[in-house]
Homo-oligomer: A and B are copies of this chain.
Amino acid sequence: MDDQEGVLLRRAIRLACENVSAGGGPFGAVVAKRGRVLAEGANRVVPDADPTAHAEVVAIRAAARALGTHDLSGAVLYASCEPCPMCLAAAWWARIGRIVFAATRADAAAAGFDDAAIYEEVAAPLSARRLPIVQALPEAAAEPFRLWAQKADRVPY
């Protein structure tokens, strides 16, 4: 990490600090591309009543909005803390090219934000999940994909 990246990561940490005063969680994130900041985010789960409003998701959504595309190829995500599985997968879907974080998941767990169970959950087979999950109506499941395959102007992502 060079000096410019250090500035961006410190900015994510400062957003996390400021967000605590503003009633949000202690997490901040910045999305940048070629050194230029595209968007910032801070954890707004409780104040915005949005369970998905983690700092990284907020920043990724805002960066995509700013560029007018869901494809953030070449962008870097700077996060005050290691992203949870939701945020990691969001970065993946957004085609973020690299992630730099400060606090570890162990640091987060010590502060009361424990992602370990979610990492285990995602890796577990369906039959061993803590959040019960079942398949049903397999005979009806194919229709959306059939329509999608037929659609000539579909945009894969």
Binding site for B on A (CB under 8 A): 1, 5-6, 9-10, 13, 16-17, 19-21, 25-28, 45-46, 49-54, 57, 60-61, 64-65, 67-72, 80-82, 84-86, 88-104, 107-108, 110-112, 117-119, 121-123, 131-138, 140-145, 147-149, 151, 154-157
Contacts and interface: CB of A to CB of B under 8 A. Distances in A.
B99 A131 contact: yes
A76 B58 CA distance: 24
A102 B137 contact: yes
Contacts of A117: 92
Contact of A100 (B64, B84, B134, B140): B134
28 contacts: A1-B134, A6-B137, A9-B136, A9-B137, A9-B140, A13-B140, A19-B144, A26-B145, A45-B70, A45-B157, A49-B67, A50-B61, A51-B71, A51-B93, A51-B95, A52-B52, A52-B90, A52-B94, A80-B141, A81-B141, A84-B89, A85-B85, A98-B133, A99-B131, A100-B133, A102-B136, A103-B145, A122-B122
